[in-house]
Amino acid sequence: MGHYWGGQMANHVVFCFDRLRVALRLACVERVVRVVDIAPLPDAPDIVLGIVNLEGRIIPVINMRKRFRLPERDIVLSDQLVIARTRQRSVALVTDAVSGIFEYAEPDIVVAETILPGLEYSDGVVKLSDGLILIHNLDRFLSLEEAASIDSAMATSGAA
């Protein structure tokens, strides 16, 4: 038996990339919006698709497919942006679809380290009857170097 993560019920927003389902804690999700025009951000790390202007806020757009090593595809009008908050900044995550909000209890979540050490972006996995959901840790998603590079690129472009 593995160790379990958390100690209470937690709400998560679940979103999809092809058949991969990923969840973020609801507390770090600001909102979900339709995909909008993404402007390029020169000198940003590879994981950044560009920036968007969301009601006067300039937010970097993160390529989740690249981070999860999924096949790249063009962004389509049905895609959605999950606006979420890390400790340092708000980010927009391009997703195929948001499937809803789910609540998971401690026994439902298997800690990532018990599955495979080094799963640095994940807190754990939820096993459901119709498959798995990866519980994502947004605060560990960007490396320190990537975060610094985003700051620098946004400052250089005047977007900060």
Q: Which residue has the higher pLDDT, 122 or 16?
A: 16
**Alpha-carbon span 59 to 142, nearest angstrom:** 14
Q: How far apart are CA 62 and CA 139, in angstroms?
A: 13
Q: Which pLDDT belongs to residue 112?
A: 57
- Give the strand pairing for 90-95 and 57-62: parallel
Task: Provide mean pLDDT across the span 43-57.
Answer: 90
Average pLDDT score over the chain: 80
Say if pTM beats, i.e. exceeds, 0.85: no
Residue 113 pLDDT class (50, 70, 90 cuts): low
pLDDT at 88: 80
Answer yes or no: are the C-beta atoms of 119 and 5 closer than 8 Å: no
pLDDT at 146 over 80: no
3-state secondary structure of 140: helix
Query: What's the rounded mean pLDDT across residues 36-50?
Result: 89
